[in-house]
Amino acid sequence: MQSIAGGGGIYTTGDNAHGVIAQSLGAPGSLGGYGDGSFAGAMHSFTSGSTEEPLNYSTGVSLELNGTVQVQGQNSWGVFAQSYGAQRVGNTLPPVGISVSGVVSGGQTLAGQSPTGGAIWIDSISRVPGGLTNLVIIQLGGKVSGQAGLAGIQYTGDGFTRISNQGELDGNLLGPTASSTALSLSNQGSFSGATQVHGHIFSQGQVTVGAGLARDTLRVMGDYIQDSQGWLNIGTDFVPGAADQLQVEGRASLQGRVRVLASSLVPTRELGFLQAHELSSDLTAQGRSDLFTYRVHQSGSSLGLSVDQARFRQMTSVYGLGQNLGAVRQHLQDI
């Protein structure tokens, strides 16, 4: 077991840099490399279903991150946590367990280049059938950031990673392959800045597609389940007919609300914003102000948004206006 706790800070700049490296290996190994490459892991192979006995067992990695871990550079990571080896039967600890109550960020995006790196990279293999999964907990007040196309959390290995977010989580959630569902996010806080989620989302909090600028797409390769407490934030621009897109390859079940982040409005124009393999919805729509109302339309496995009514007359009657502003109110309502 490795446990790192601290309220200070780690600030590093450089390509291929890591702010925190934590390993628990069930065989000889660790970090190594030469001028033409590097290595992190065990020398013994622990493939899923292997009958080989390891030289010893991995007891897992436990990290408590209370301060700031900030790493900048190409292919840089705030945290690299690796548990490689067999888990003992009856072990109650996850292969990798990370708790964040501070700030973790990493990676870099350069103009003309693909973004690389991110905040947290977990590499974990467990041979115990039905064994425990990796666990990342972002506490209230904590932040894990891999914005602008970077990874918030990346998982490689054999198994499953659960993410519980009560704070802020930005960036992609990536599994071992582009078609995997090796991750699940239980979101009670805010999640944004992602283009890909290689797993499932269960949300009681805020989910913003991309940056909410009416030009982003979030692809969820598993299910997207939002309960009555959840908010889905969608950027729209009704003049050119643009809206953020949520694409769900599994099942989408949406209650709660969709918040319309509108930069322009056009009456009677509908903008599609969600497509799913299977869809059930009881969403209501709300803007950033009460001046306009919106409607959600379902057509098969797709959802769209349209402007419903302008409410200048109602709002001014609530707050009260003088004669001149009342004329402006009437003009805007007529438009």
- Residue 243: which of 283, 221, 270 has the closest Cα? 270
User: Tens digit of pLDDT for each residue in 236-248?
Assistant: 999 999 999 999 9
d(CA 76, CA 74): 5
Mean pLDDT calculated for residue range 157-186: 91
pLDDT value at position 90? 57
Q: Which of 111-120, 140-149, 153-162 is least confident?
A: 111-120
- Model confidence at 173, pLDDT cuts 50, 70, 90, reads very high
pLDDT value at position 322? 47
d(CA 19, CA 38): 17
Q: Alpha-carbon dihedral of residues 45, 123, 79, 218, nearest 10 degrees? A: 160
User: Tens digit of pLDDT for each residue in 8-31?
Assistant: 677 666 667 678 888 876 654 445
State the residue range of the domain holding 43: 3-334
- Model confidence at 88, pLDDT cuts 50, 70, 90, reads low
- Model confidence at 104, pLDDT cuts 50, 70, 90, reads very high
Q: Which of 52-66, 119-133, 160-174 is least confident?
A: 52-66
Residue 216, pLDDT > 50, answer yes
Provide the number of structural domains found in the chain.
Answer: 1
Global pTM?
0.84
155 versus 48: the higher-pLDDT residue is 155
Stated as kind and residue range, the H or E segment containing 318 is helix 312-319
Which are the contacts of 40, defined by CB distance < 8 A and separation ≥ 6? 21, 23, 30, 31, 32, 80, 82, 123
d(CA 59, CA 96): 9
112 versus 304: the higher-pLDDT residue is 304
d(CA 93, CA 174): 23
Q: Which residue is it, tokens 């806080």?
A: 189
Q: Which residue is it, tokens 């367990």?
A: 97
Q: Which residue is it, tokens 């797709």?
A: 302
CA distances to 260, 268, 269, 283, 297 from 238, rounded to whole Å, are: 11, 10, 7, 20, 15
d(CA 284, CA 261): 14
Mean pLDDT calculated for residue range 251-270: 94
